[in-house]
Amino acid sequence: MNHHGQLMRLAALSQDDFLRTVARWGMVGRFGNYAGDNRSHLSLITESPHAVERPVWEWNFATVNPGHAWEFAGELIDFLVSDAFDRSNGAITFPGRPLPGTPFRVRVYGDRPGRFYGEEPVRLWLPRRLVTSDNRQIDVLAGYGDGTFYLAAWSQSFQSETVTLTLDPEKVDLRNVTRTRRWNQNQPTAAGPPINRQTISFQLPAKGIVAFAFDGARVRPGLQAKVTDPASRPLGPQSFARTAASFGTVHAQLLSMGRGLTRAFIYTDALPEAIIAATLRYRQGQQAWREARDEIFPYEFSPEYIDGAGALELSFEVETAALKTERAPTLVLLP
From first to last of the 335 residues of the chain, give the pLDDT tens digit: 678 888 999 999 999 999 999 998 888 777 666 556 544 445 566 566 666 666 666 666 655 666 777 888 888 899 999 999 999 999 999 999 988 777 777 899 998 999 999 999 999 999 999 999 999 999 999 999 999 999 999 999 999 999 999 999 999 999 889 999 999 999 999 766 667 689 999 999 999 999 999 999 999 998 888 888 888 888 999 999 999 999 999 999 999 988 889 999 999 999 999 999 999 999 999 999 999 999 999 999 999 899 889 999 999 999 999 999 999 999 999 98
The pTM of the full predicted model, rounded to 2 decimals, is 0.79
In 146-261, DSSP assigns E strands to 148-155, 161-167, 172-173, 179-184, 187-188, 199-204, 209-215, 218-219, 240-245, 248-256
Of 2.60.40.10, 1.10.287.610, 3.20.140.10, 3.30.1360.30, the CATH number of 237-333 is: 2.60.40.10
Exposure string (b/e) for 270-308, b if CB count within 10 Å is 16 or more? Answer: beeeebeebbbebbbeeeeeeeeebeeeebebebebeee
Taking residue 33's Cβ as centre, other Cβ atoms within 10 Å add up to 12
The gap from C-alpha 109 to its chain's centroid, in whole angstroms, comes to 8
DSSP annotation of 238: G
Of 2.60.40.1180, 3.20.20.70, 3.30.160.100, 2.40.50.140, the CATH number of 113-228 is: 2.60.40.1180
Q: What Rg do the C-alpha atoms of the chain give, in angstroms?
A: 26
Where in the chain do CATH 2.60.40.10 domains reside? Answer: 237-333
SS3 content of the chain, % helix, strand, coil (to 5): 20, 35, 40
Task: Determine contact, residues 162/155, Cβ cutoff 8 Å.
Answer: no
Crossing angle for the helix pair 69-87 and 17-24, to the nearest 10 degrees: 150
Where in the chain do CATH 2.60.40.1180 domains reside? Answer: 113-228
